[in-house]
Amino acid sequence: MTGLRERQKADRNRRILEAASTLFGQMGYEAARIDTIAEVAEVSVGTLYNYFENKADLLLAIVSMEVEEVLAQGEVVVARPPETAIQAMSVLIRTYYDHSLVYLTKAMWRSAMAMTIQQPEAPFSRRYRELDAALAAQVCRLIATLQTRGDVRQGIGATALGEMAFNDLNALFTEFILDEDQPLAQLRARLDAHLSAFTTLIAT
Amino acid sequence: MTGLRERQKADRNRRILEAASTLFGQMGYEAARIDTIAEVAEVSVGTLYNYFENKADLLLAIVSMEVEEVLAQGEVVVARPPETAIQAMSVLIRTYYDHSLVYLTKAMWRSAMAMTIQQPEAPFSRRYRELDAALAAQVCRLIATLQTRGDVRQGIGATALGEMAFNDLNALFTEFILDEDQPLAQLRARLDAHLSAFTTLIAT
DNA sequence: CTGCAAAAATGAACTGCTTCAACTTTTTTC
DNA sequence: GAAAAAAGTTGAAGCAGTTCATTTTTGCAG
């Protein structure tokens, strides 16, 4: 693990990710040229392509790091869920939403989403879907907890409910990302409206 | 409307769509070259780009025609919905699902979806989202009918329920499209599982 | 330390979508 | 019906992402 080759490899990987992250943020995903990223990372274009399958793959590596952070934050909420069912759901999903534009722009999200759809077999597309599934599972676990606590009616699996909720909240997020004019506040408002309807359905 | 220029324009448009449709179907979206499409349509590449913004836009024009057909078929179901709530929903959504691979391949769907996300402002992306909204509205209308008929509980707006259901069914469809190995039968099975949970939630 | 094999880096060439300045056709004007 | 204007067509050049044969570097055995 401490061989020269290993260390150089890890370092190049880091430099590429750092360069890409900076440039995507500064000038947007589309405008950032592979040549420029390679130059800033101090590797050749060919080497960059030894480390990442293509440009979108590089972006998805960055997106994945972002989602991993959100997952960790969500874990805190699930561990100690707020009082009411609607509050608990609202706090968890806001954790997701509020974090979404810290490191990434809407354009970056759009490109990342587009790639996972277009090339579902690429390694980082798989990783992205895994993380997405992990987020959905987190929502399911929250609902299961609420069910145990007696805030959500029995008779329907927490997984079924959680996946339904997640799919809905994901759709809201996608619409938010697609509309450059929609502010985060509006996304939050729409979230609350949907959660209100949903919790009415599932409340005891 | 009968000026020479108008007629030539309509004819070129038709020829391009026909050529693209044939080639996408025959050899797949990625493998079909713009040059080839232009050649088959008997126009120059430049002309093709006068009629369509880009390759994906051309694909979306074809996808739109497909969705329009599905919308018309769905209208028949909504006009005379089957006996039970779960049957009604199942029949409507199966109308959507079953029709989806008649003219389009999974790869074509993936490319179309990816483009609407990546370039939301392109004219046919807007059109695609409009059609998507029309499908969602159709589901909402079905639920409203079921509500009037007394099969679905009052107190929650049919639109809220319909949109939630649609987002869920859309997510199922997206997973189907992303997985080249998943057969239509499995999508139908998953649909029934989700609808079962959903109708339990919303039934009177 | 030297030579050899394996691994990795390199960047010029390639690919296929897209653009645009020059050209052609159609319509309008007088 | 000729001339001017408007609309539309054309294909070669441009562009940016990607590939791959060549070169360089690293690890290892003798």
Please indicate if any CB of chain A lies within 8 Å of the CB of B101: no
> What is the domain class of B1-51 according to CATH?
mainly alpha
Question: What residues does CATH 1.10.357.10 cover in chain A?
Answer: 55-202
Token pair belonging to B46? 């430049």
- Spatial distance between the Cα atoms of B109 and A200, rounded to a whole number of angstroms: 35
CATH architecture of B54-202: Orthogonal Bundle (1.10)
* Interface test with chain A among B30, B113, B116, B118, by most A beta carbons within 10 Å: B118
What ipTM score was computed for the predicted complex, to two decimals? 0.89
B152, β-bridge pairs: B203
pLDDT, residue A2, reads 66
What is the distance in angstroms between the Cα of A17 and the nearest Cα belonging to chain B? 22
Place of tokens 């797949």: B28
Q: Which two tokens stand for residue A121?
A: 């077999």
CA→C1' distance for B26 and D9 (Å): 28
**CATH 1.10.357.10 domain locations along chain B:** 54-202
Nearest alpha carbon to residue B151 among B166, B161, B137: B161
CA separation for the pair A191, A186 (Å, rounded):
8
pLDDT value of residue B122? 84
The DSSP code sequence of chain A is --SHHHHHHHHHHHHHHHHHHHHHHHH-TTTS-HHHHHHHHTS-HHHHHHH-SSHHHHHHHHHHHHHHHHHHHHHHHHHS--SSHHHHHHHHHHHHHHHTTTS--HHHHHHHHHHHHH-TTSHHHHHHHHHHHHHHHHHHHHHHHHHHHTSB-SSS-HHHHHHHHHHHHHHHHHHHHH-TT--HHHHHHHHHHHHHHHHHHHB-
Pick one of 3.30.870.10, 1.10.357.10, 3.40.50.150, 1.10.10.10 as the CATH number of A55-202: 1.10.357.10
Distance from C-alpha of B81 to C-alpha of B95, rounded to nearest angstrom: 13
Which nucleotides in chain C lie closer than 7 A to a protein CB? 7-12, 16-21, 26-27
CB B202 within 8 A of CB B153: yes
Beta partners for residue B203, in sequence order: B152
Q: State whether residue B156 sits within 8 Å of chain A by CB.
A: yes
pLDDT at residue B3, rounded to an integer = 78
Please count the other Cβ atoms lying within 10 Å of the Cβ belonging to residue B31.
11
With an 8 Å Cβ cutoff, are B197 and A111 in contact? Answer: no
Pairwise CA distance, residues B38 & B51, whole Å: 11
What's the pLDDT at B155? 84
Yes or no, beta carbons of A171 and B174 under 8 Å apart: no
> Does the CB of B96 have a partner CB in chain A at under 8 Å?
no
CA gap A25, A105 in Å, rounded: 7
What integer best gives the mean pLDDT of chain B? 94
B133 CB within 8 Å of a chain A CB: no
- Which helix (H) or strand (E) covers residue A162, if one does? helix A158-178
Helix (H, G, I), strand (E, B) or coil at B88: helix
Tens digits of pLDDT across chain B (204 residues): 567 688 999 999 999 999 999 999 999 999 999 999 999 999 999 999 999 999 999 999 999 999 999 999 999 999 999 999 999 999 999 999 999 999 999 999 999 999 999 999 888 899 999 999 999 999 999 999 999 999 998 888 899 999 999 999 999 999 999 999 999 999 999 999 999 999 999 987
* Range(s) of chain A covered by CATH 1.10.10.60: 1-51
pLDDT tens sequence for chain A (204 residues):
567 678 899 999 999 999 999 999 999 999 999 999 999 999 999 999 999 999 999 999 999 999 999 999 999 999 999 999 999 999 999 999 999 999 999 999 999 999 999 999 888 899 999 999 999 999 999 999 999 999 998 888 899 999 999 999 999 999 999 999 999 999 999 999 999 999 999 987
